[in-house]
Amino acid sequence: MNARKFTNDTKRKLLPFVYLLTLTGWGIYTLTHDYSWQALLLFVIGLLMVLRNYHLESERIDEKIASIAAHSVIGVVILNQNLRVDFANKSFSKLTGHTAKQLNGEDLKKYGFSCLNDAIAKLGAKANWKGEIKVTNRFGDHLTLDTHITHYEMGMGMSDRYVLSFRDISHRVRLENKLKNLAEKDPLTGCWNRRRFDKEIARHASIADRYAVSNTTLAIIDIDHFKQINDKHGHDVGDEVIKELGELMQAQCRETDIVARVGGEEFAIIMPETNNRNAFEAIYRLKEIIQSKSVLGITISGGITTINRSVEQSYRRADKALYRAKTLGRNRVCSSDGYSEHIVHTKRAKAFM
């Protein structure tokens, strides 16, 4: 135990006696109306000792708070009124990959935290803000941080401070997303399942209803003669065919497209920002790629339509176009608006002339 700690502890133990001394002086000075300088001096000395001890206790509390913040498992940052770092603890340094010395005096948006400035700007009269932010640290790790911001008006001529705390919830968010994917992914193909497809087509139908216009296309795709494949090669081979088709479709489609398995051998693709003709040509190319790359040389038929405000009508029109493709001999694509493979072949022929 060092001398300073011993002295401070001793002063704290003497605090009740200091209060008693102060009250005694005040009692002599006021109640007995003995306005002697001795009584006044006793009161003043006692008051000074109380104030000194109060200052001592404040310092002790400040030191304790600083120690807790410095060693907390939660990242803690204190920003000044210019939104520059006054203090950053070890946990925050570990999150960002930058030392407290590197962070000191810096604007956090330099380190990918620009969203914090926006959150602070929106505080207004509120003293607190809570939310989740996504950042990338120095090591390239994508983090999701549960964030709290508290605005302190210091007063007494001191500039305001913002105390920020960060809790890394990246693992929890990844787990939640994984569980969500498991609930919405087809286990055989890795495509989205019918549940996710229904949500997505309903969302696009709602957009079409809101704006009275749609530029999103729905394609329904079916494997030709799939029953014969099962009968000839068995269900295990049939499953492999479905799996292979799902993988080929996902590889050929855009990231923005929703590729879903909606039935046994039936798939659906939602193609945002794609008109009927462009979607037709994309599905036609997909048909040719599948036929050339499939191990068993399977073929597909497809029907496409523009998604309108009614989910049922949109699906029914695409299904009718698919049925027409099958009745015309399969291994083809039909559109609800009459756009045909003949037009595609004509365009390709002109391109080579």
**Among the options 153, 244, 255, 265, which is catalytic?**
265
Alpha-carbon span 332 to 303, nearest angstrom: 9
| Category of 124 on φ-ψ map: left (φ > 0), alpha (ψ -120 to 50) or beta | left
Alpha-carbon span 333 to 302, nearest angstrom: 5
Burial of 61 from C-beta contacts in 10 A (0-12 / 13-18 / 19+): exposed
Cβ contacts of 284 within 8 Å, gap of 6 or more: 333, 341, 344
Question: Are the C-beta atoms of 161 and 86 separated by less than 8 Å?
Answer: yes
Sign of the torsion angle spanned by Cα atoms 158, 124, 162, 137: negative
Question: Are the C-beta atoms of 247 and 189 separated by less than 8 Å?
Answer: yes
Cβ contacts of 147 within 8 Å, gap of 6 or more: 116, 119, 129, 130, 131, 132, 133, 164, 165, 166, 167
Per-residue tokens: 26: 């005040």
For residue 63, indicate whether it is catalytic.
no
Alpha-carbon span 290 to 313, nearest angstrom: 28
Question: Are the C-beta atoms of 304 and 320 separated by less than 8 Å?
Answer: no
Alpha-carbon span 287 to 327, nearest angstrom: 17
Alpha-carbon span 279 to 314, nearest angstrom: 15
Residues catalogued as catalytic? 265
